[in-house]
Amino acid sequence: MGREVDDVERRLRLREFRKERMQRYLEKRSELDESLEEVFDQRTLLALYELLNTGRLREVMGVISAGKESRVYHGVAGDGSETAVKIYLTSSAEFRRNRLQYVVDDPRFKSIPRDFRKFVYLWAKREFANLVDAYNAGVSVPKPIVQRENILVMQFLGENGVRYPLLVEEEFESDELKMIWGQLLENAAKMYKRAALVHGDLSEYNVVIGRGPVVYIIDFAQAVKLGHPLAETLLLRGVETLARFFKKRGVSVDVEEAVRVIKSG
Ligand SMILES: Nc1ncnc2c1ncn2[C@@H]1O[C@H](COP(=O)(O)OP(=O)(O)OP(=O)(O)O)[C@@H](O)[C@H]1O
Ligand SMILES: [Mg+2]
C-alpha cells in the first residue's frame, strides 16, 4: 500500500517536473518561434520542426543574416556542432524570373517546376548539391549537413555563435591579402577542375575569412556546371569582381593569369 502511494506520488512529481521543464523550454523558444512564424509559411515551419523532431537539428537560435529572399539562422546540429540554417522565403514573386537562367541547362535537374514553391525547393536543392560537389572536391566551404524543401543546414563558420567576418568586412595587411588571394585561386581551381563547377557569384561578400586567415567560399546558389551557357562569363565576372576589390585594397592582381590558373593549374 505504502509503496503504491510512493509510486503515485513519484509519478505525479515527475509529471510536474516535466511540465515545468517543457514550460521553460517553450518560453525560451516562444520569442524565436514568433519571429519564425511571422516570416515563414506553415509548410516551412513544418519542415523546420521535422528537422528538429528527428534530431537532425537540436536547436535554431538567433538570426545571422536577414536578406530579402532568405534568412540565415545560427543553430545546433544533432551532434552538438554549430550550424548555419539558411531558409528561403516562399513569398517573393520575382524569385523564379530572376533565377530561371541558372536552372536551365543543368543536366542534374531536367524538369523545372512552374509552381512557385516547388521552384524555390528546386533552388535550395540545387544550391545544396553544388555545396556537396564543392565540399567533396576539397574546396574550403561550410560542410553540408542536410537539406529539406527550402531549408539548407550546413556547418557554421564561426565560434560560439559569432560568425567569422566576410572578406569585405575586415581590414587586412597586404601580405594577408596576398595569402587570401592565393587561397581564393586555389579553391576556384579545385572547384573548376575537380567539381566542374563555377561559383557564379564570387565576390568579397561571399568569401568568409576564418582564423589563419583561412578562406571559405559560401553561397552556391548561382553556381553552374561547366558547359552551362553562362559558365565562362560567370567565371570571368567573379575573377574581375574580386580583382577590383583587391585593387581597392592596394593589391593588384592579374585577371587573365588568374583565369588561366583556375582552368589549368
Ligand atoms: N555557413 C555559414 N556560417 C556562418 N555564416 C553564414 C554561413 N552561411 C551564410 N552566412 C551568413 O549569412 C549571410 C548570407 O548568406 P548567403 O550569402 O549564403 O545568402 P545570400 O543569398 O547572399 O543572402 P543575402 O542576399 O542576404 O546576401 C552571409 O553573408 C554570412 O554572413
Ligand atoms: Mg551571399
Taking the centre of ligand 1 as the mean of its atom positions, its distance from the CA of residue 73, in whole angstroms, is 9
**Helical packing angle, 2-39 and 42-53, nearest 10°:** 140
Is 133 one of the annotated active-site residues of the chain? no
Taking the centre of ligand 2 as the mean of its atom positions, its distance from the CA of residue 206, in whole angstroms, is 5
Ligand 1, residue 221: give the atom nearest the CA: 21
pLDDT band at 263 (very low <50, low <70, confident <90, very high): very high
Ligand 1, residue 164: give the atom nearest the CA: 4
Share of the chain above pLDDT 90, in %: 73
Which of 92, 81, 78 is closest to 39 using CA atoms?
92
pLDDT at 110: 86
Top-confidence residue, 19 or 145: 145
Mean pLDDT of 232-261: 98
Lowest mean pLDDT among 52-61, 134-143, 149-158, 182-191: 52-61
pLDDT tens-digit map of 13-30 = 888 888 777 677 666 667
pLDDT beyond 90 at 95? no
Q: What are the structural domains of the chain?
A: 40-159 (3.30.200.20), 164-264 (1.10.510.10)
pLDDT at 142: 98
Mean pLDDT of 187-194: 98
CA distances from 170 to 4, 64, 165, 178, 243 (A): 66, 17, 7, 14, 17
pLDDT at 38: 83
pLDDT at 143: 98
Which of 52, 42, 121, 116 is closest to 83 using CA atoms?
52
pTM recorded for the entire structure: 0.88
Mean pLDDT of 148-160: 97
Q: Ligand 1: residues within 6 Å at CB?
A: 64-65, 67, 70, 72, 84, 86, 142, 154-158, 163, 166, 206, 218-219
pLDDT at 26: 67
Taking the centre of ligand 1 as the mean of its atom positions, its distance from the CA of residue 219, in whole angstroms, is 6
Taking the centre of ligand 1 as the mean of its atom positions, its distance from the CA of residue 203, in whole angstroms, is 12
Catalytic residue among 6, 79, 133, 201: 201
Mean pLDDT of 132-154: 98
Long-range pairs for 22-27: beta carbons < 8 A, 24 or more residues apart: none
Mean pLDDT of 209-225: 97
pLDDT beyond 70 at 265? no
Mean pLDDT of 208-220: 97
